[in-house]
Amino acid sequence: MKTAFLAVVAVGTSLVAVGPLPASGSPVPDDLLSALLFGDTDATTPPADGSFRTGPALAPSCDGVTIKPADDAAQVIADAPTGTTFCFTSGLHRISETLRPKADQVLASDEGAVLTGSVRLTRWTATGGASGSADGGASGVRGGVNGGWVTTGVLPPAYAKTGQCEDDEANICYLREQVFRDGRHLTRVASRDKVARGTFYADYAANAIYLGDNPAGHDIEMSSTQTAIEPGGNNVTVRGLTVEHFATPPQSGAVVLGLGWRVYANDIRWNHAVGAMLVNADSAILEKNRIHHNGQLGVGQYSTLKGTIAANEVSDNNTDGFWIADWESGGIKTTWSSGGWVVGNLIADNRGVGLWSDAYDDSRTFSNNQIVDNAADGIRYEIGRNGVIAGNTISGNGFGTGRGSGTSLWDGGGINVNTSSNVQVRDNVVANNVNGISIQSRTRGSGPWGTNLLRNIVVSGNQVTMRGGTTATGMVQNSGAAIPDGTVMLNDNVYILDSLTTDRFQQTGRWYTANQWQTTGQDKTSTFTTARPILNPPGILTILPTPN
C-alpha cells in the first residue's frame, strides 16, 4: 500500500496538518485516494507548496459544440443529441432557463466561462434620504427611513417561508433574491428603515428593491434564475465552469447532480441556498470543486447510493443567515444515503456544521478531510448506522455564537456522534475545538430501522487535544435514553491535556480527571499527556514526552 500525506495548510489562524493515511483498513482504495487528493494515481505527496488544488484551472481542454455568451444555452443543449460535448466560451453567460443536459452530455469550459443566474438592475431613483441620483456623481447616502435608492418591477410574487434562520424573529433567510454591487454581496435587511451602506431591502408587496449605496457608475445585479443545471439525463459531466448568483430556494442546489454524474473542477459560489446537491444521484462524483460563499450550505446529498464527495474546497458558506447551530447550514450535509464517501475535502470557515450526516445515512465513510474553524461541530453524525469516521483532522470548530450555540457536550465541537449505531471513530486528529469527542444519546423516536438508539460506538486511535475552558470528551444522555454498559468503548487514544488533574472527561453528568476516567472502564489503554504535538517531515504527527 502507498503512504500518502495531506498538505500542511494554513486556514485563518489555524495550522492544519494531517498525518499518514492508516497503514491498514483504509476505507478508500489507494488509487482512488491518490487520484482524488493529488490529481493522479502515481502521486504520493501533495504539491511542494502545500496548495490545495481545486477549481476550473484543473479542467482539461474542451472540444465540442461552442456556446457563446449571446447564445441561448438551454436551447442549444435541448436541440443536441445525447452524448454531445458543449464548450462554453469565456465571458458571462446569463442563464435565464435551467440547463437540463441529456444522457452522456458534457458541459465544459477551458476558457473561464461564468454561468450567472442574475439580471442587471439599471433603473434607480433616489429616495428621500439620499443625496445625488443614480445617474449623477454624488456618492453620499443617509441611512434611516426613506434613505437610499429604489428600483421597481424586478421581484417575483411573494412566496412562503421555508427553512430556519439564525434570526427567527425577522426570519428573512428564506428569501432567495440576492443583490450584488460590483460583485460584492450585499446584506439583506428586514425593513426599509434599516437600509444603510452595504445593505438592501426587498419589498415584495410593492415589488421594490431599496439600496443603501449609490448605484451610479456601479454594476448592480440581482439573482433571479433558481437553478443553473439539473438532470435531464444520466451520466452527465460538468467541468471547468464558474456558477454564481442563482436564486436557489432553501435546501436546493445551484448545480443538481443526477445518476452517474461527474461534476469536477468548477467554482460554485454566491448562490442563495446550496452550492451543489446530489439528489437520487447514485454513483455520482463531486470532486475538486471550489464551493464557497453560498447562502446556506456548500454541498448537500439526499437519497443517494454510493455517492462520492471528494477533494473539494468547501468554505465560507451560510452567507445569508440560516440557523448556525441546528439547521441545514455550513459545509456538507448528507441524509438518507447509503454507501459512498466524503473524502479528502477541505471544509473551512463555514457558518454552521462542517460535515453533517443526518437522518438515516447507512454505511457511509467520512475520511481524511481537513475540517477547520467551522462555527458549529466539526463532524456531526446523527441518527445513522454503520458509519466510519477515520483519518480526519478537525480543529478550531464549535466557537460560533447565536441561537442554540453552547459549550457543553450536548453542543459537540470536534466530533459528535448522536443516537447512532455501529459507528467507528478512529485515527482522527481532534485539536482545540469547543469539545473533543462527544457521544450523545437522545430520545429521537423511530424510523425505518425501528427505534433510534445509541449502540456500538467504538472510539480508538484518535489524538485529541483539550486545553482550557470547559472542553471535554465523553458521553451525555437525556431521560429515557440511557446508555447501556458496553455500548460505547473508547480505547487506544492519545489525549493531550493542559493538566492531568483537570476535569476533561464526562460521563452522563459526572466529570472526571484522566485517572478517574479510566476507573469508569473507558480509555484503559489510552495515553494521557501534557506534552504538545510536533510535526515531523513529511507530515507525521508525533508527541513530545511529558517532562518529568
**3-state secondary structure at position 77:** helix
Residue 232 has pLDDT above 80, yes or no: yes
Confidence band for 20, pLDDT divided at 50, 70 and 90: very low
What does the alpha-carbon distance between residue 217 and residue 214 come to, in Å, rounded to a whole number?
Answer: 8
What's the pLDDT score for residue 159?
96
Q: What is the mean pLDDT of residues 212-238?
A: 98
What does the alpha-carbon distance between residue 370 and residue 12 come to, in Å, rounded to a whole number?
Answer: 13
What's the pLDDT score for residue 534?
54
What does the alpha-carbon distance between residue 394 and residue 396 come to, in Å, rounded to a whole number?
Answer: 7
Chain segment 301-334, per-residue pLDDT in tens: 999 999 999 999 999 999 999 999 999 999 999 9
For residue 515, what is the enclosing H or E element?
Answer: helix 514-519
Residue whose grid cell is 446529498: 301
What's the pLDDT score for residue 16?
34
What's the pLDDT score for residue 399?
96
Query: Which DSSP symbol is given to 165?
Result: B
Confidence band for 545, pLDDT divided at 50, 70 and 90: low
| Residue scoring higher pLDDT (214 or 37) | 214
Confidence band for 17, pLDDT divided at 50, 70 and 90: very low
Chain segment 457-486, per-residue pLDDT in tens: 999 999 999 999 999 999 999 989 999 999
What's the pLDDT score for residue 65?
98
Beta bridge partners of 150: 125, 210
For 319-392, strand residue ranges (E) read: 330-335, 341-343, 346-348, 353-358, 365-367, 370-372, 379-382, 388-390
**3-state secondary structure at position 104:** coil
- Among residues 161, 81, 59, 156, the alpha carbon closest in space to that of 117 is found at 156
What's the pLDDT score for residue 128?
72
**3-state secondary structure at position 79:** helix
Residue 383 has pLDDT above 80, yes or no: yes
For residue 535, what is the enclosing H or E element?
Answer: strand 533-536
Strands 91-94 and 113-116 come out as parallel
- Among residues 376, 407, 379, 400, the alpha carbon closest in space to that of 506 is found at 407
Other CB atoms within a 10 A radius of the CB of residue 65 amount to: 16
Q: Which three cell numbers stand for residue 304?
A: 443517494
What does the alpha-carbon distance between residue 488 and residue 62 come to, in Å, rounded to a whole number?
Answer: 52
Other CB atoms within a 10 A radius of the CB of residue 265 amount to: 23
Most confident of 3-12, 519-528, 537-546: 519-528
What's the pLDDT score for residue 542?
55
What does the alpha-carbon distance between residue 163 and residue 328 come to, in Å, rounded to a whole number?
Answer: 8
At 84, give phi and psi (nearest 5°).
-75, 140
- Among residues 416, 458, 465, 421, the alpha carbon closest in space to that of 437 is found at 416
Please provide the DSSP assignment of 385-439 as one string: BS-EEES-EEES-S---STT--SSGGG-SSEEEES-EEEEEES-EEESSSSSEEE
Edge-to-edge strand ranges of the sheet holding 208-211: 125-126, 149-152, 208-211, 199-203, 187-188
| Sign of the dihedral defined by the CA atoms of residues 95, 205, 164, 303, in that order | negative
- Among residues 518, 542, 523, 516, the alpha carbon closest in space to that of 531 is found at 542
Instruction: Assess contact for 18 and 46: CB atoms under 8 A.
Output: no
Other CB atoms within a 10 A radius of the CB of residue 156 amount to: 12
Q: pLDDT averaged over the chain?
A: 88
Residue 537 has pLDDT above 80, yes or no: no
At 124, give phi and psi (nearest 5°).
-120, 145
What does the alpha-carbon distance between residue 178 and residue 185 come to, in Å, rounded to a whole number?
Answer: 7
Confidence band for 25, pLDDT divided at 50, 70 and 90: very low
**3-state secondary structure at position 201:** strand
Instruction: Assess contact for 142 and 130: CB atoms under 8 A.
Output: yes
- Give the CA distances from residue 6 to residues 20, 42, 413, in Å, rounded to whole numbers and listed in that order: 8, 15, 23
Q: What percent of the chain has a predicted confidence (pLDDT) above 70?
A: 84
Query: Please, which residues have CB within 8 angstroms of residue 336's CB and are 6 or more apart in sequence?
Result: 302, 303, 359, 360, 361
Q: What is the mean pLDDT of residues 510-517?
A: 97
Least confident of 156-165, 262-271, 417-426, 533-542: 533-542
Q: What is the mean pLDDT of residues 24-50?
A: 37
Strands 106-108 and 91-94 come out as unpaired
What's the pLDDT score for residue 52?
83
Residue 7 has pLDDT above 60, yes or no: no
Residue 44 has pLDDT above 60, yes or no: no
Q: Which three cell numbers stand for residue 228?
A: 443553473
**3-state secondary structure at position 155:** coil
Bond prior to 538 in cis (omega within 30° of 0): yes
For residue 38, what is the enclosing H or E element?
Answer: helix 30-38
Query: Which DSSP symbol is given to 69?
Result: T
Q: What is the mean pLDDT of residues 519-543?
A: 75
Q: pTM, whole model, 2 decimals? A: 0.89
What does the alpha-carbon distance between residue 201 and residue 221 come to, in Å, rounded to a whole number?
Answer: 14
Beta bridge partners of 543: 533
Q: What percent of the chain has a predicted confidence (pLDDT) above 90?
A: 82
What's the pLDDT score for residue 412?
80
What's the pLDDT score for residue 31?
42
Q: What is the mean pLDDT of residues 367-379?
A: 97
| Sign of the dihedral defined by the CA atoms of residues 51, 54, 55, 61, in that order | positive
Q: What is the mean pLDDT of residues 410-434?
A: 96
Q: What is the mean pLDDT of residues 249-273?
A: 98
Query: Which DSSP symbol is given to 305?
Result: B
Beta bridge partners of 357: 334, 381
Query: Please, which residues have CB within 8 angstroms of residue 190's CB and are 6 or more apart in sequence?
Result: 167, 170, 172, 201
